[in-house]
Every structure is written in C-alpha cells, then in structure tokens.
C-alpha cells in the first residue's frame, strides 16, 4: 500500500512539473492594438495590408485574397543573405513547425533581391529548407516600386548597398490578423520576442 502511494506521489509530482512547465511557457498577453495606422492632422487612419500581388515559390499568384481570414506574418529576406536571414529562418522554421496543423496561419516572406531571386531560385530554396507553401510562402514582386509600397505598408524599410551584392533589411516580422490589420512587430533575433510572437499568434487565432 505504502509503495503504491510513493509511486503515485512521484508520478503526480512529475505530471505537475510537466503541465506546469507547459503553462509557464505561455506568455501572458493583453489585447493587441491595431498598429497599421497613420496620423493625419491628429486623426488616426487605420489601413489593411491588402492590394498587393506577388508570385510564390510554386509560381502561383499570391494576393491579399490568400491572406484574408488568416493570421499571418510578413517579412523581407533574400536567399543569398549571409547575415541575419539564416538565424531568422531557423526561427521561422520553428514557428512553421509549431503551427503546422493550423490551417488559419501562414508566414509570408518577400524577397528584396529581384535580380537574383527568380521564382526557380525561390523554389530551390524552399525545397532545400523544406518550406511548404501551405503555410509559408516565399514571394517575389514584379518591381522595386511594389516592394517599396509593401515596405511602407508594413512599416519597415530595406536598402541595397551600392553594388547590389547585399541589402540592409530589418529582422522584424509584422503580425497581421484575419482582418488584415498589423497587430505587432517582433524581432526574430530575440528569443523572448519569438516566444511573444507565438503567444500572440495563438491569441489572434482564437479571435
């Protein structure tokens, strides 16, 4: 009788520790404000991330019709990026894994290297890193104008160096809700921001 109870107590302790660990990993969040807005003469004007048209790694047209009704992220990258893209990609692969069973979530990464990142390059890149267009679209714009318009909407910027061999771009992703409003910005190079992003995705998925 005593032995049984000792075993039960040990099992209970481990169970408590396990469930408490899972619970404690979740960041507490409050409601998220809409951050896609501009001020005009003291008046706040919100806007949606829409009216864009890109092509994804599967050579399919990708527009705001694909993101409507889905929680999604947008960021800029380029496949030959030697600096911040590889660690960002590791985090994005982890996010893709976390939400792989969630049909209402996707990541969108737009290449800023129009010269080298053809659709076939994006396809090869997706194949190498097992990026599935079901939940992560690698996108190509048709012109720099489109890229800069999208950067303006996403409240970020990028800049090629003089010989176009490298680009400055941000390590942030914008989190966008099902209604296509920006609800947060997260630095993928900071582990705490990545945890916060995951918690916020969970929260927006429940909305």
Can you give the binding site for another protein, defined by CB under 8 A? Answer: 3, 7, 10, 16-17, 20-21, 23-24, 27-31, 33, 35, 38-39, 41-42, 155-157, 170, 172, 184-187, 192-193, 196
Question: Which residue, 33 or 103, is less far from another protein as judged by CB?
Answer: 33
| Nearest distance, CB of residue 106 and another protein, angstroms | 21
DSSP E strands, 78-156: 105-111, 136-140
DSSP state of 207: -
Q: Are 157 and 77 in contact (CB under 8 A)?
A: no
Q: Of 94, 81, 95, 96, which Cα lies nearest the Cα of 170? A: 81
Question: Which residue, 33 or 69, is less far from another protein as judged by CB?
Answer: 33
| Nearest distance, CB of residue 130 and another protein, angstroms | 28
Question: Which residue, 44 or 115, is less far from another protein as judged by CB?
Answer: 44
Q: Are 88 and 75 in contact (CB under 8 A)?
A: yes
The residue assigned the tokens 């049984």 is: 4
Would residue 104 be called left, alpha or beta, if left means φ above 0 and alpha means ψ between -120 and 50 degrees? alpha
| Nearest distance, CB of residue 42 and another protein, angstroms | 3
| Nearest distance, CB of residue 26 and another protein, angstroms | 12
DSSP state of 171: S
| Nearest distance, CB of residue 201 and another protein, angstroms | 15
Question: Which residue, 24 or 101, is less far from another protein as judged by CB?
Answer: 24
Question: Which residue, 35 or 119, is less far from another protein as judged by CB?
Answer: 35
Q: Is 84 exposed, middle or buried (0-12, 13-18, 19+ CB in 10 A)?
A: middle
| Nearest distance, CB of residue 136 and another protein, angstroms | 21
Q: State how far the Cα of 77 lies from the Cα of 127, in Å rounded to an integer.
A: 17
Question: Is residue 162 helix, strand or coil?
Answer: coil
Question: Which residue, 7 or 68, is less far from another protein as judged by CB?
Answer: 7
């Amino acid at each position: 009788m005593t032995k049984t109870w000792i075993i039960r107590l040990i099992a209970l302790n481990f169970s408590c520790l396990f469930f408490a660990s899972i619970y404690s990993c979740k960041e507490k969040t409050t409601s998220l404000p809409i951050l896609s807005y501009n001020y005009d003469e003291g008046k706040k004007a919100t806007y949606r991330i829409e009216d864009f048209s890109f092509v994804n790694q599967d050579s399919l047209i990708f527009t705001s019709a694909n993101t409507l009704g889905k929680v999604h992220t947008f960021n800029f990258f380029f496949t030959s990026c030697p600096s911040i893209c590889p660690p960002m990609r590791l985090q994005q692969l982890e996010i893709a894994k976390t939400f792989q069973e969630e049909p209402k979530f996707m990541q969108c990464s737009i290449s800023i290297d129009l010269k080298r990142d053809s659709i076939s390059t994006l396809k090869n890149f997706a194949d190498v890193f097992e990026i599935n267009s079901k939940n992560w679209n690698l996108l190509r714009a048709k012109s720099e104008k489109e890229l800069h318009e999208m950067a303006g909407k996403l409240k970020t910027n990028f800049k090629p160096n003089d010989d176009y061999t490298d680009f400055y771009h941000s390590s942030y992703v914008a989190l966008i809700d099902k209604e296509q409003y920006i609800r947060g910005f997260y630095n993928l190079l900071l582990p705490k921001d990545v945890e916060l992003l995951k918690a916020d995705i969970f929260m927006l998925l429940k909305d």
